[in-house]
Structure 1
Amino acid sequence: MELSFGLLINIIIAIYLYVDAKKRDKSAFVWAILGLIIGPLVLGIYLIQTGRKLAGWIIVIFAIFWVILVIILGVLGAIAGLLF
């Protein structure tokens, strides 16, 4: 069974959030679970909340653009599948 690249990224983000949240006396388990499920968006929000606003906003903006791109490509793929 192979892991997808996206799942691997989410696991790395979850580990980072768990370790860093423990250092900052935040709820490490909650941040790790959210990071595992949602990934980069949660990482950006976490960075904003912990005072690293520039990096956080950059990650949030890229994560939102990525989700929008995936939705657009999915819709275009579905339309192409219906036409051809």
Structure 2
Amino acid sequence: MEGSFGLLLNIVITIYLVIDSRKYGKSPVLWGILGFIFGAIALGIYLIKTDRKVIGWIITIISIIGYIALLLVILLGVALIMGGGFS
């Protein structure tokens, strides 16, 4: 369920970037690919580049914090599985 939500979110971001990038004279193919691969971080950077800086920085910072938190959870899980627990 969570994986399908992430994929759906990336598809929505991709569609938005492809449609909106034409209004600002940006490459829709490039922003579509970036939106699908990087998701919210690409959306934040796109908003910064199209002079919507406040919301762009908010989305970028929240996305980066989320990715760092996910990485820490994964590393903690690997450490616990490998036997390097909190003993």
TM-score scaled by length of structure 2: 0.90
Question: Distance between the aligned counterparts of 2:8 and 2:80, measured in 1?
Answer: 30
| 1:55-70 alignment, distance < 5 Å | 55-70=55-70
Q: What is the CA-CA distance between 1:69 and the residue it aligns to?
A: 0.3
Q: What is the CA-CA distance between 1:4 and the residue it aligns to?
A: 1.4
Residue matched to 2:24: 24
Report how many residues are paired.
82
Give structure 1 regions of 4+ aligned residues with deviation exceeding 6 angstroms.
Answer: none
Listed as ranges, the gaps of 5+ residues in structure 2 are: none
Q: What is the CA-CA distance between 1:23 and the residue it aligns to?
A: 1.5
Question: Distance between the aligned counterparts of 1:36 and 1:19, measured in 2?
Answer: 14
Listed as ranges, the gaps of 5+ residues in structure 1 are: none
Summarize deviations over 1:33-56 as a string: whole Å, max 9, x none. Answer: 000000000000000000000000
Question: Distance between the aligned counterparts of 1:15 and 1:61, measured in 2?
Answer: 22
Greater gyration radius: 2
Summarize deviations over 1:5-48 as a string: whole Å, max 9, x none. Answer: 11110000000000000111110110010000000000000000
Question: Distance between the aligned counterparts of 2:39 and 2:31, measured in 1?
Answer: 10
Question: Distance between the aligned counterparts of 2:28 and 2:38, measured in 1?
Answer: 15
Question: Distance between the aligned counterparts of 1:54 and 1:24, measured in 2?
Answer: 18
| 1:3-82 alignment, distance < 5 Å | 4-82=4-82
How high is the sequence identity, in percent, across the aligned residues? 48
